[in-house]
Amino acid sequence: MARFLARRLLFGLLVLWIVSGAVFVLFFVAPHDPARLIAGKLATPQTIALVNHRLGLDRPLPEQYASFIWRLLHGDLGYSYYSNAPVSQLLASRLPVTVSLALGGAVLWLAVGIGVGVAAARRPRSLVDRGGAVLMLAGLSMPTFLVGLLLIYFLFFRLHLAGITWFPPGGYVPLAQDPAGWAQHLLLPWVTLAAVTAATYSRLTRSSMLEVLGEDYIRTARSKGLSEDRVVYRHGLRSALTPVVTLLGIDLGTLLGGVIVTEQVFGLPGLGQLAWQSVTTQDLPVIIGTVLVASTFIVVANLLVDLGYALLDPRVRPS
């Protein structure tokens, strides 16, 4: 296990190094002028030369890249061009919002998706199976922003007109400040993510469960007189969750990099909103920091997926 973890960790570090190199080439070697962008359209050549010197852009490219990597290893992502705040500080202030949104949505869509998928697989071609298929089709057909706007209209606007103030339209309350307010403000964003994503997990769980329930060891377990619930949940579901864990790792890694649409709809100050603002203002240091944080999350998520295989399926062993 230790060798497996070390090998996967080294592979993850290699991926991050490649990503950092690609980011450096894209933003510092590609034909554009960051100094002129910072100084403004009316800047004089002397001002542009001064900005180039302060950013180190007048040095040879190998020196620039070495300085770039050295700063990254020390957690220094530079300063925002527009707010003049440290990029690491901006990311740290937005990270709890995105983590809360992604993890809460993941718990909800896993509960709904796996539950519907297992129920449909236990009774193929039944009313439950056909109803689950309708829900899957509806969830896959509706874009995230539409679900969010519908929830805001019916559960916030219409209820507020009736004097019911259960659901706020957006915003964020820190968990340490008010746990109840934290959950209340994130409930509609969680439901938005789950409504769209649970359909995929339901379909994947159903197909995987149907395949597993036809295996020989499942028939053997039934022939031993085990209850159907134990056969399904103790033996079948554990193996059927392997592809679900794979998809969960990809989705969580992507979501933690920024849930842009959901954060924009509900006004959540997370990484997705920060990434959108930095792209529209061409704030290069913040864009670089967001890309590197998102890449780190994806690498870590894939490492956890590999470990989850060994825990879920006894036939899988890290080697």
What is residue 10's predicted lDDT score, i.e. its pLDDT? 86
How far apart are the C-alpha atoms of 137 and 4, rounded to whole Å?
40
Domains and their CATH numbers in the chain = 2-73 (no CATH), 87-312 (1.10.3720.10)
What is residue 96's predicted lDDT score, i.e. its pLDDT? 92
What is residue 36's predicted lDDT score, i.e. its pLDDT? 65
Q: State CA 56 to chain mean position distance.
A: 34
How far apart are the C-alpha atoms of 284 and 77, rounded to whole Å?
11
Write out the chain's pLDDT in tens, 319 residues.
Answer: 677 677 778 888 888 888 888 888 877 665 566 666 666 666 677 777 777 776 666 777 788 788 888 888 888 888 887 777 888 899 999 999 999 999 999 999 999 889 888 888 888 888 887 887 787 777 777 888 888 888 888 888 888 888 787 888 778 888 888 898 899 889 999 999 888 888 888 888 888 888 888 888 888 888 888 888 888 887 788 778 888 888 888 888 878 766 888 888 888 898 888 888 888 877 888 888 888 888 888 888 888 877 777 666 655 555 5
Contacts of residue 145, defined as CB under 8 A and 6 or more positions apart, other chains included, come to: 261, 264, 265
How far apart are the C-alpha atoms of 221 and 103, rounded to whole Å?
35
Tell me the three state secondary structure of residue 208.
Answer: helix
What is residue 317's predicted lDDT score, i.e. its pLDDT? 57
Give the predicted TM-score (pTM) of the model: 0.81
Tell me the three state secondary structure of residue 177.
Answer: coil
What is the identity of the amino acid at 42? L
What is residue 319's predicted lDDT score, i.e. its pLDDT? 54
